[in-house]
Each structure stands twice: as structure tokens, then as C-alpha cells.
Amino acid sequence: MNPNLGTCYGIGVGPGDPELITLKAKRLIENADVIAYPATQTGESMARQIASQYIKESVHEYPIKIDMSSNAVQLDDAYAVAATAINKFLEKGQNVAVLCEGDPFFYGSFIYIFSKLKTTYHVEVVPGVSSIMACGAVSQQPLTSHNDILKVIPATLDKDRIKHQLDHQGTTAIIKLGRHFQKVKGLLDELDLLDCASYIERATLPNQKQMPLTNHDSGKAPYFSMILVNPSWKQINE
């Protein structure tokens, strides 16, 4: 690759607490020529908020505005526009830091950008603390030891597929709850796993909540929430 091109860094900024950013992420954010991040149409960005104290006032910012109601094709189009904009910075020899909640390659929108840049530009991924590990820490619930299996399952899958994956001894993290919360809670009840489940939302942020799932009775959960469940945690509420 042309050595005069800039580098695109996909930077994991961790689960929410700005102190859970890595030293490498901090250094790259402080030294970047351009900071890009996913944002709503009105400009709000959780990734930017997490990293805000490390962003220099003088840096060029490029919000990647995403309409959250987009379908897959529209999302891909929006990221294609962003990738083209990032290309222009890289062609000028500027380094671009793309901020990503949690880890860039773990359900991160950075994957869209990466797939569009990887063959032409130098792209480096800086791993971050994932929400899975943050939720284990916040709920004081060890995730896995010895020969345990860990599974991460999006709640957006249909009930039968989720049920099929709950057939093992080990820990399952059911993520992206949002409007799928009642479906998941109902399934865990059906499988007699309610007493073995912990509910966590916005882990490590000032407004975090965590409780045994049986204590969660509002019937609602935000997108940034998850259930950790393990058949051996029967004692969770005792």
C-alpha cells in the first residue's frame, strides 16, 4: 500500500465508563487527524460521549449519521457514504479514528466500514472491553471457568433458535433485548431458567441497573441491556 496514505483505526471505546478505554485507544484518539463515530440524525453519539474527554477541540469530527429505523440496504448505503468520506481523509495522509462502542468487531457498525476499506487502505482494529465482560463484572457473576461454554445470542433471533441454543451447561448472554425482552423472559420461564438469570442494563454507565431477572417487572428493556443466564446459578436469588 502507498505509505503516504493515512491509517484508519477502528477503536473500541469499551462499554460506557470512560475509564474503561484502553491506553492505546486514548493515545490514538488524542493523536488522530479525524475522529469519526456513529451518530443519530440529530448528532447524538454514545461512542463519542464515552471518549469525549480525550477528543481534542481542534480535531476534525465526522459524525456518521445513521437513521436507526434503516433497513439493511439503507444502512449499507449510509456506511458506503461514510467510507467514501473516510477514503478522502486517508488519501490526504490523515489518520482517522473511528470510535466504536465496546469492541469494533463484536456487533460493531465498524464492520461495514472495515469491509469497504480493507483491500485499499491500512486499517487497524484496536480491541475494546466488551459489554459481555462489563456485565459479568457489574453483576458480580463469573462468566466462565474451566470447561464452560459461553454463548452470545441476539434476542432478535426467533424464539425457537434461541431455545435451541440454551441446551447446554455454561453461560449464555442474550443481548440486544429492547422490544424482544418479553419474548426472552417468557422463554426462560418456559425452560425453568428464570431463577438462573441476571438482568443488566447500561453496564458501567452512571445510570446502570442490575438485578436478578425475576426482580425486573416493568416488562421493558432498552437496546443496551442483556440477560446473563446459567443453569448452575440456581442460587442467584437465594
Residues in touch with its own copies (CB under 8 A)? 12, 14-15, 17-24, 26-27, 72, 103-108, 111, 114-115, 118, 123-130, 132-134, 136-137, 140-154, 156-157, 165, 168, 204
- Tell me, rounded to whole angstroms, the distance of Cα 216 from its chain centroid: 23
Q: Which residue lies nearer to its own copies by CB, 39 or 135?
A: 135
- Tell me, rounded to whole angstroms, the distance of Cα 8 from its chain centroid: 19
Angle at 176 between CA 172 and CA 179, to 5 degrees: 120
CB of 173 to its own copies, least distance (A): 9
CB of 218 to its own copies, least distance (A): 25
Q: Which residue has the cell 428493556?
A: 221
CA atoms within 13 A on the CB side of 64: 29
CB of 122 to its own copies, least distance (A): 11
Q: Which residue lies nearer to its own copies by CB, 43 or 144?
A: 144
Indicate the DSSP class of residue 142.
-
CB of 7 to its own copies, least distance (A): 13
Task: Spell out the residues 6+ positions from residue 177 whose beta carbon is closer than 8 angstroms to its own.
Answer: 155, 184, 221, 222, 223, 225, 226, 227
Crossing angle of helices 110-117/72-91, nearest 10°?
60
CB of 92 to its own copies, least distance (A): 24
Q: Which residue lies nearer to its own copies by CB, 80 or 92?
A: 80
Q: Which residue lies nearer to its own copies by CB, 141 or 225?
A: 141
Sign of CA dihedral 84, 85, 86, 90: positive
Q: Which residue lies nearer to its own copies by CB, 95 or 217?
A: 95
